Structure 1
Amino acid sequence: MPEPFVLNLVYYQPCIPPNTGNAIRIAANTGAHLHLIEPLGFTMTDQQVKRAGLDYHEMAHVTVHPDLPTAWAALQPERVFAFSARAEKFYTDVEYRSGDVLLFGPEPTGLPDEVLADPQVTEQLRIPMLPDRRSMNLANATSVALYEAWRQHGFPGAI
């Protein structure tokens, strides 16, 4: 039996509870693992997180890490793709592999320069947008990137 295709979603210091709740739902529906890097702009018991995640909290694999080095130690990633509106390479120009990390920054600032320069980051990627736009909604950007990676592998395990 082939190994499952699993991606790791890392949210660095997320601020908006409904986006994290939506990410919990995305993770549950795709088999991705969601990793949250503290400090969080909310508590995991926040009603907005629970409401956005609906009844998917029990089906999702979510881990909260106190900081990025602790997350890297736990994940031991081979490849980390940091998403930034300033990156040159499109997210569709990557051949994703199981175990890859998709790293997203907080709303509304995105990943800080020191995280983008982290030696664990393999490459910076962007999702194209029209000119003069700052960013996409965090949960939407996660969905766009995650589903591209899953699509490349034929949506294993999906119905």
Structure 2
Amino acid sequence: MMNIVLLEPEMPANTGNIGRTCVATGTRLHLIEPLGFKVNDKTVKRAGLDYWDDLDVTIYDDFKDFLEKNPQCAGKLYMFTTKSRQCYCDVTYPKDAWLMFGKESAGIPEEILVDYEDYCVRIPMIGQIRSLNLSNSVAIALYEALRQNGFDQLNPKGDLHRLHWKSEN
């Protein structure tokens, strides 16, 4: 199972959208405090629609607490940052990868990144753009990791029913 880790997320709508993506993909969500909102905030729930109750989510006091409670993430914790020299699609993600993203206003602090330099990855952008929206970044990264693993346990195909219609001449 994939894991999304949000370090100090600030915007409830982003976290709600990410929660919905996690439910749709069978991914666990890990939230590291301080949060810029209360988890029961109506904005979080509205963005997550009626999926929030189905979300597998754990909240941690800080990054140290997260690491202590998840020793299994060692060697599988990928940190998404604009400061990395490595592209996110050049990494081979295990089926139980941990994809970590920092808060919207500042990303993951450098004092954390330096200890994980080999696991830092970047989503390419043009010019000096600061960053993408957090929920978009999570979706890009998660679906690449899922794609690499054959979309394990996801429905890869839909069922389009052809509509019959007459063309008017």
Matches within 5 A, 1:72-83: 72-76=67-71, 77-78=73-74, 79-83=76-80
Structure 1 CA distance, aligned partners of 2:3 and 2:65?
15
Which ranges in structure 2 are unaligned for 5 or more consecutive residues? 156-169
TM-score by length of 1: 0.92
Aligned residues: 153
Which ranges in structure 1 are unaligned for 5 or more consecutive residues? 1-5
Q: State the one-letter code of the partner of 2:123.
A: I
Residue 117 of structure 1 aligns to a residue whose secondary structure is helix
Residue 28 of structure 1 aligns to a residue whose secondary structure is helix
Contact kept, 8 Å, 1:80 with 1:122, in 2: the verdict is no
Shift of 1:154: 1.1
Matches within 5 A, 1:1-159: 6-76=1-71, 77-78=73-74, 79-118=76-115, 122-159=118-155
TM-score by length of 2: 0.87
Cα deviations across residues 30-51 of structure 1 (Å, max 9, x unaligned)?
Answer: 1111100000000001111010
Aligned structure 1 segments of 4 or more residues deviating by more than 4 angstroms:
none
* Correspondence for 1:3: none
Query: Which of the pair is proportionally richer in strand?
Result: 1
Shift of 1:80: 1.0
Structure 2 CA distance, aligned partners of 1:158 and 1:59?
16
Structure 1 CA distance, aligned partners of 2:57 and 2:118?
23
Shift of 1:122: 4.8
Larger Rg: 2
Shift of 1:68: 0.9
* Correspondence for 2:166: none
Superposed CA RMSD in Å reads 1.2
Shift of 1:98: 2.2
Q: Percent identity?
A: 42
